[in-house]
Amino acid sequence: MDLEYTPEEQDFRRQVAAWVAANAPAPEKRKDLEELRAWQRRLHAAGYLGAGWPTELGGAALSPMQQAILNEELARANAPGPINAMAIWWVGPAIMKYGTEEQKKRFLGPILNAEEIWATGYSEPGSGSDMAAARCRAERDGDDYVVSGQKVWTTIAHFSDWYFILVRTSTEGPKWAGLSLLLIDMKSPGVEVRPIRQITGDSEFNEVFLHDVRVPVANLLGREGQGWEIVTSALINERTGIAGSVRFDQSFERLVAAARQHGRTADPLWRQRLADLAVKARVTKSFGLRAMSDSLHGRFNPHSSAAMKLFTTELSQRFSETGIDLLGNYGILWEGSKRTPDDGRSAYFYLYDRAMTIAGGTSEVQRNIVAQRVLGLPRGS
């Protein structure tokens, strides 16, 4: 197996690194919505956006290896991702696969140019990761569906224009069989968004309440009862898109620097703990190389992505826990304090990373997928 980059790939890496350094938004502007829209448009104009999209629909003409190199360099520069990432990775491909020609013409262009931002609505109160238990109801009334119910943990709903939402159109048969997928204008009468204040102080997630919201039947994606198929294919795209080896390498470098600063490098227990993280970071990189090899050779195992998601999100928590432990009492200081060694970075990520093993499917769900569909173990009674 040859793991070396070709001269052409190395040239592409240098080109991307130089472009990102010249074009990425300044750190202080990375919470400004219009600046992030402009950043996505720059990525698109440069040919770096939508690598999984057909070029005739505006997708980037990048090979899988070039896409991997691009992702590595964006991570290395700590550049923000596209503001419409969920739509580019999941909503757009779902519309390409299941949508009508009218839906493709209407929605795909504004996704890539960040004219319309999308949120995705799966989780509901009381059902957790069991999406098949969704109760948000859509009842047919002439040329409309009337939608009532609640979604929770909806990322960026507070500034999104459209909603890719799983609803129940039937109670007949297995619970997953009565689910459908609707495309809802977030400005529709009856849509109420309430930001959720997180433990970090941010409000990235939201509750969304739908009070008799009328949605044209033309906004049904696929056919009635096909929602489960559409959503599960979208989540496969989500989980296979996780590639954090560069960020783990950066986190490891910060931990080693902190260990030296606090005199922990001679402690055998700390040396072992850091070595364990170094090994797991290398395993993450090998995961990514395996996924890349599968892509290049036309192999696809949708269930191995569950193992990758499980491993990387739990490792994120191990890294942030180690950062807090290394700093001791200083680790609980928040940003803005002159006495905080890293301006609160460790405290922030310790709190933020608690959600990593829930978002995109809990660790418990991923373990069940690996046990049943990868290892072939029987389902528990």
Domains of the chain (ranges, CATH numbers): 7-83 (1.10.540.10), 118-225 (2.40.110.10), 242-374 (1.20.140.10)
> With contact defined as beta carbons under 8 Å apart, do 156 and 190 qualify?
no
CA nearest neighbour of 302 among 239, 242, 360: 239
Mean of pLDDT over the chain: 90
**pTM reported for the whole predicted model:** 0.86
> With contact defined as beta carbons under 8 Å apart, do 98 and 226 qualify?
yes
Which whole number is the average pLDDT over 114-129?
A: 90
Tokens for 200, please give them.
């970090």
Which whole number is the average pLDDT over 162-180?
A: 94
Higher pLDDT pick, 366 / 128:
366
> Is 238 a residue of the active site?
yes
Query: Of the residues 238, 314, 321, 335, which is catalytic?
Result: 238
Q: Which residues contact 25 (CB under 8 A, 6 or more apart)?
A: 32, 35, 36, 38, 39, 80
Share of the chain above pLDDT 70, in %: 93
**Would you say residue 23 has pLDDT above 90?**
yes
Q: What is the DSSP string of 341-375?
A: TTTTHHHHHHHHGGGTTTTTS-HHHHHHHIIIIIS
Q: For 321-343, write each residue's pLDDT tens digit.
A: 999 999 888 888 877 666 677 77
The 3-state DSSP composition of the chain as helix, strand, coil percent (nearest 5) reads 50, 15, 35
Residue 119 pLDDT class (50, 70, 90 cuts): very high
Which whole number is the average pLDDT over 140-165?
A: 97
